[in-house]
A = this chain, B = another copy of it.
Amino acid sequence: MATIKDVAKRAGVAPSTVSRVLSGSTRISPETHERVRSAMRELNYHPNAIARSLAQKSTATIGLMIARPAEQALANPFFPELMRGIGSVLYGAGYNLMLSMVSSPDEERNVCLRLLRGRRVDGVILASASLDHKLVDDLVAEEFPFVLVGRVDGQSGITTVNNDNEMVGRMAVRHLIAQGHRRIGLIGGPSELTVSIDRTFGYRQGLAEAGIVWDGGLEAGGWFTKEGGHQALLELMDRPAPPTAVFAADDAMAVGALMALKERKLEHKVALVGVNDDPLTALVDPALSTIRIPVFDLGATAARTLLEMLKRDEWEPRSVLLPSTLVIRASSNWAL
């Protein structure tokens, strides 16, 4: 394939001149410019991005690490949507996206460091289920630019983009209170995940705001699965004073809870709110109210933040929290 030298020869100039034309340098006369341009056209020349990367010490590529047990990885619409958001910003800025789907923290660490150390990418976005602190430490130590996005542990000193999970809990509770409920149950997620912790905290805050005293008997939990939600709901309803409304910290759990409610013919007696705006929530009957997390924006913001860090190549850590939206559907759209 044609190189910059071929073009130079054909245009009767030095390679450096061609390079300058390429980079849109001023100080090139219009005639030379045109001669070089047409030489490029005639030779069907296209600059070699790899060579340019080497000389410029930057690849215009950023890495995205998606860490999940493989099967689960992309079943959840979260990741595709996140990728769309990231892509929309990156492509617009002339950057490329290098995707790595890994299934364990160890693998994530290896692959991520390999990409960065091999200078194959300029920075990475980490979308990890559970944070590998070793990896983060390495990234910080070797001064690689990176952004954490989505469900991650709170750790200061690094840049993160997340949705406001406390607010999620508060919004759900406020809505249910507005519908007249006072005994509001919680189906929380695994207590080791920050998502769960934050949403649970928000739920409690929401109650406190309304002057409702906390009642541990209204809280249950489990995994972010339909089964988890199903079981947790039954548990709640079998307690001495069952709730009249339930906030489930995830849509899968909410769907499970709804199944359980239907088994007991309670689907119109107990209000239900989930989180995520999973496509399923609009299809079940009654349709589930849910809190929509701005996943696309999460991705876009993460990408924008990372590009910003790269531009002024000094960065101080900052954390962005994005607001969510309440989507009211049949499962909670009635007053007590």
Contacts and interface: CB of A to CB of B under 8 A. Distances in A.
Interface of A: 46-51, 53-54, 59, 61, 64, 70, 73-75, 77, 79-81, 83-84, 87-88, 91, 96-102, 111, 115, 117-120, 279-280, 283
A37 to B, nearest CB: 17
Contacts of A46: 117-118
A162 B101 CA distance: 23
- A-B residue pairs, 7 tightest by C-beta: A74-B80, A49-B118, A46-B117, A99-B99, A49-B120, A87-B101, A50-B53
A5 to B, nearest CB: 15
B84 A101 contact: yes
A75 B70 contact: no
A48 B119 contact: yes
15 contacts: A48-B118, A49-B120, A50-B53, A50-B54, A50-B118, A61-B98, A75-B77, A83-B99, A83-B101, A84-B101, A91-B100, A91-B111, A96-B115, A96-B120, A280-B283
A250 B87 CA distance: 28
A97 B97 CA distance: 9
Given A74-B80, A74-B84, A96-B120, 20 more contacts: A46-B117, A46-B118, A48-B118, A48-B119, A49-B118, A49-B119, A49-B120, A50-B118, A50-B119, A50-B120, A54-B54, A64-B99, A70-B88, A75-B77, A75-B279, A91-B102, A96-B98, A97-B98, A97-B100, A99-B99
Nearest to A45: B117
A263 to B, nearest CB: 13
Contacts of A119: 48-50
A100 B83 CA distance: 10
Nearest to A49: B118
Contacts of A283: 280
Nearest to A60: B120
B84 A80 contact: no
Contact of A80 (B73, B111, B117): B73
